[in-house]
Structure 1
Amino acid sequence: MSKLHTTPVPLDLNTGRRRFGFPVPIFCGNTKQPNQVCDSWAEFYANERLLAILATIEERSDPDTGLLYTSSGEGKDIVPFAVQGDLSSGNADWGRTIGSGGDEIPEDVVYDPSACYGHNEYNLMIHLFGSRSFDQYHWIVPKTEPVAEYADRVELYEL
């Protein structure tokens, strides 16, 4: 996962910048996630994840206008990386890839993605690999500043 989260996403052809989102809509289970490309992580997470999920909930039940609020955080310093988006024990396993020389390489594999270009910490919400793995992960990929708010961000991404 740290390899994925240290590989820059492609530059947007229209703007020449790295942006948050994904070129196509995807699903997380049976919930459609539109993935409209955005300039900031805060805008993408609010509109393309939280509000999109809220809209789906409202379509399937009654609206709850008390859930809406305006966020003051913009996440300006967050850099987009490819994230799996639904990293749970049911979506990870041990497998083999075939190298260019035909050799089989055993490695961890993840599948059934709810992928987007987003904040690398978004993938850490599930706590799939345990705290020791997080320590090793953060040795390669440091926690985003402000570090004091890391636990709050993980809780936010659990929504």
Structure 2
Amino acid sequence: MDEQETAERVAAAMTAQDAAIRAAGIRLLDIGPGRARATMTVSESHLNGHGVAHGGYLFFLADAAFSFACNSRGVSTVAAGGDVSFLRAGRLGDELVAEAREIALAGKSGIYDVTITAGDAVVAEFRGRSRAVPHLPPPYA
């Protein structure tokens, strides 16, 4: 199995097994080795008391794309940490797209950047730190 096939197999298994991602309306658009794009349309259930997308959902979308990207090589990987900078509000009906890309891999540790956009506008920037946990079953098992 080549790297792209591994990434696709991992993504299919993760999508099937992650009820939280499905419940939030997050959908995978694209996957490849060390990268992923996911989307979520801001609905009323995503809004905070100010009537804009709750920051937790923005973080969740970024974290989902990050998770797909860092598991795409077929080694079970978890988040070691993540930080987000909110730059613009997500509004009701916005189609948010989170694009994750691998920045560095060193041993069991990785760094991934995720940009969330709504159209041409950058909504948030996320940096995730990953840790491979190869003692767990592969993410597509």
Higher strand share: 2
Higher helix share: 1
Q: With a CA cutoff of 8 Å and minimum separation of 6, indicate the structure with the bigger relative contact order.
A: 2
Which of these two proteins has the greater Rg computed from alpha carbons? 1
